[in-house]
C-alpha cells in the first residue's frame, strides 16, 4: 500500500494540511475494494483527483476510467449517454450506441456533479448499483455491467433530499464511504505552496522568470477567502504571471487581482437554505410577488368600497392618503398631496361606468338637480335607464353613433340596433 506522500507526488497533489492527508488516506484504503464512494466539497477544491487515485490503486486499474460531468449533459440525452440506445429509439438515433456503463465494463466511472442527475436517471442508476443491470433506451433487453462508481458533488445532498431533488435510497448507495475535501480557506498553510507550484508551471509554459511574493503579499494571499478555491487561485496566478512586468509582486499589486466578494458557487449549506427570505426556486419568488399583489388589491377594494359608501369629507381623505401613496407612489417626494391630486388618484380607482357617470354629473351645476336626478333614476326600470343613457350619449356627441358607442362601451352595430329597437 502506497503512502499518502508517495500518492501526492504521483498525482501532483500539493499540500500538507491534515484534512487533505486524511482524504488521501481514505482514498488509498478504499481503493482495493469495490465500495461506492461519494466525494464532497465546494466547487474548485480538486474533487476530480480522488477518483483517479481510487481507480489507479484498485484491481480495475487496467480497465477503462471514464469521467462524466452529469451537469453538462442535457436532461433529454443523459440516459442515452450513460446506458446507450438502440437504432430508432428517438429522433436522430441513426444507429445503435453503447453507453458509458457498457464501455467502462470492468473499470470505473466517475460521476461528477451527480446531484444534477434527473430523477428518472437516478432510478436507472440505483438499479445498476444494486444489481449491475441496465437497459438501453429503446430496448427491452437487460444487460449487465461490472462497473465501480465514484461520484462527486458540491451540493448539500441532505437538503436536496428534503426538497425531493435527489433520491434518498440512491444517496445511501453512493455514500457507502464519503470523502470530504476542505475548502482552501480552511487550508491556509497550503495556499502559498499552491501559488508557488502554479507560478513555476506558468513560468515554464510562457518561458519567463517565476514570479515571487513579498512577505506582506504572502499574508494577503493567505488571508483571502478564495470562494473559487484552487481553481480560482490558479487563475489569479496565471493572470499575475502574464500581466506583471516585475517578477516580485508586493501586497498592493496583489490586491488588484484578489477576489473582492464571494460570488462563486459553493456547497449549499442547510443554514443558508433555511434562512428567512431565502427561496429554493423561482416559483416561490413568484408566489410571494402574487401574494403581495393580492394584498394590494384587497387594500384597493377596501378603499373603493369606502369611497362609494362614505362621504368624501376632509377627515376621510386624510385617512386614505397613506394607502393611496403606498399603492401608486409619489412622482415627486416634495410635491404636496392636495385635494386636486387626491381627486386624480380616486378617479383612477373608479370603474369605467362610474367614471362616465361622474363625467356626466360634472355637467350639472346645481347640486340639488343632481340629487333629484339620482332619486329619479332609482325609480326607473332597467330598459328606461338604458334608453336614457343612450339618449344622453347621443345628445352629447350630437347624434354621432361611433363616439357614443365608445363612451357606452358597446359596438356601433349594437348601438344602431338599440336605436331601432327603442325608436330613438
pLDDT digits (tens, 9 = 90+) for 372-400: 444 444 444 677 778 888 888 888 888 88
Fold classification of 351-424 (topology level) = Arc Repressor Mutant, subunit A (1.10.10)
Residue 330 grid cell:
409619489
pLDDT of residue 314: 58
Is a pLDDT exceeding 50 seen at residue 17? yes
Q: Which residue has the higher pLDDT, 160 or 416?
A: 160
First to last CA, the chain: 107
Average model confidence (pLDDT) for the chain? Answer: 81
Torsion over CA: 150, 153, 159, 160 (sign) = negative
Of 30-39, 102-111, 263-272, the poorest mean pLDDT is in 263-272
Over residues 334-346, the mean pLDDT reads: 46
The answer, yes or no, to whether residue 175 has pLDDT greater than 70, is: yes
> Which CATH superfamily hosts domain 4-180?
P-loop containing nucleotide triphosphate hydrolases (3.40.50.300)
pLDDT bucket at 407, cuts 50 / 70 / 90? confident
Class of domain 187-255: mainly alpha
pLDDT of residue 332: 45
Tell me which DSSP letter residue 115 carries.
G
273 falls in which pLDDT band (50, 70, 90)? very low
Given the DSSP bridges, would you call strands 142-144 and 133-135 parallel, antiparallel or unpaired? antiparallel
pLDDT value of residue 312? 52
Of 30, 22, 1, 7, residue with least CA distance to 148: 30
The answer for residues whose C-beta is within 8 angstroms of residue 196's C-beta and 6 or more apart is none
| CB-based contact 15:193 (threshold 8 Å) | yes
- Cα-only R_g, the chain: 37
Q: What is the pLDDT of residue 404?
A: 82
Q: Residue 358 — very low, low, confident or very high, per pLDDT cuts 50/70/90?
A: low
Beta-carbon contacts of residue 293 (< 8 Å; ≥ 6 apart): none
Q: Which residue has the higher pLDDT, 251 or 269?
A: 251
How many other C-beta atoms can be found within 10 angstroms of the C-beta atom of residue 404? Answer: 23
Kindly tell me if the per-residue pLDDT of 76 is higher than 60.
yes
**Per-residue confidence (pLDDT) for residue 319, from 0 to 100:** 60
Phi, psi of 137 (to 5 degrees): -65, 125
Block residue for cell numbers 328606461: 384
* Domain extents in the chain: 4-180, 187-255, 279-298+314-349, 351-424
Q: In the block, which residue shows the cell 470523502?
A: 179
Distance of CA 411 to the CA centre of its chain: 47
Amino acid at each position: 500500500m502506497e503512502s499518502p506522500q508517495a500518492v501526492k507526488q504521483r498525482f501532483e497533489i500539493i499540500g500538507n494540511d491534515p484534512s487533505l492527508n486524511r482524504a488521501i488516506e481514505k482514498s488509498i484504503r478504499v481503493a482495493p475494494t469495490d465500495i461506492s464512494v461519494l466525494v464532497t466539497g465546494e466547487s474548485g477544491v480538486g474533487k476530480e483527483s480522488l477518483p483517479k487515485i481510487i481507480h489507479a490503486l484498485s484491481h480495475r486499474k487496467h480497465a477503462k476510467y471514464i469521467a462524466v460531468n452529469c451537469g453538462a449533459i442535457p436532461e433529454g440525452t443523459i440516459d442515452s449517454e450513460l446506458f446507450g440506445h438502440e437504432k430508432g429509439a428517438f429522433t436522430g438515433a441513426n444507429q445503435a450506441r453503447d453507453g458509458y456503463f457498457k464501455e467502462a465494463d470492468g473499470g470505473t466511472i466517475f460521476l461528477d456533479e451527480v446531484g444534477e442527475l434527473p430523477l428518472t436517471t437516478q432510478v436507472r442508476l440505483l438499479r445498476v448499483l444494486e444489481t449491475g443491470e441496465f437497459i438501453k433506451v429503446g430496448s427491452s433487453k437487460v444487460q449487465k455491467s461490472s462497473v465501480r462508481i465514484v461520484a462527486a458533488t458540491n451540493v448539500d445532498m441532505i437538503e436536496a433530499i428534503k426538497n425531493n431533488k435527489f433520491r434518498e435510497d440512491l444517496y445511501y448507495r453512493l455514500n457507502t464511504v464519503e470523502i470530504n475535501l476542505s475548502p482552501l480557506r480552511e487550508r491556509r498553510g497550503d495556499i502559498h505552496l499552491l501559488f508557488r507550484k502554479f507560478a513555476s508551471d506558468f513560468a515554464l509554459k510562457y518561458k519567463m522568470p517565476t514570479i515571487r511574493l513579498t512577505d506582506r503579499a504572502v499574508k494577503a494571499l493567505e488571508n483571502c477567502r478564495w470562494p473559487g478555491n484552487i481553481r480560482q487561485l490558479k487563475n489569479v496566478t496565471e493572470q499575475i504571471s502574464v500581466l506583471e512586468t516585475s517578477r516580485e509582486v508586493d501586497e498592493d499589486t496583489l490586491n488588484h487581482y484578489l477576489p473582492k466578494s464571494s460570488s462563486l458557487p459553493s456547497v449549499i449549506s442547510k443554514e443558508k437554505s433555511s434562512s428567512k427570505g431565502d427561496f429554493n426556486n423561482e416559483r416561490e419568488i413568484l408566489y410571494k410577488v402574487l401574494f403581495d399583489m393580492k394584498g394590494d388589491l384587497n387594500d384597493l377594494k377596501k378603499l373603493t368600497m369606502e369611497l362609494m359608501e362614505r362621504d368624501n369629507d376632509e377627515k376621510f381623505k386624510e385617512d386614505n392618503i397613506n394607502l393611496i401613496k403606498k399603492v401608486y407612489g409619489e412622482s415627486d417626494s416634495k410635491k404636496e398631496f392636495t385635494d386636486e391630486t387626491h381627486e386624480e388618484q380616486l378617479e383612477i380607482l373608479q370603474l369605467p361606468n362610474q367614471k362616465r357617470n361622474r363625467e356626466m354629473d360634472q355637467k350639472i351645476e346645481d347640486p340639488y338637480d343632481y340629487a333629484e336626478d339620482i332619486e329619479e333614476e332609482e325609480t326607473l326600470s332597467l330598459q328606461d335607464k338604458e334608453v336614457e343613457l343612450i339618449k344622453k350619449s347621443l345628445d352629447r356627441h350630437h347624434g354621432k353613433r361611433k363616439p357614443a358607442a365608445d363612451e357606452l362601451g358597446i359596438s356601433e352595430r349594437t348601438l344602431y340596433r338599440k336605436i331601432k329597437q327603442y325608436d330613438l
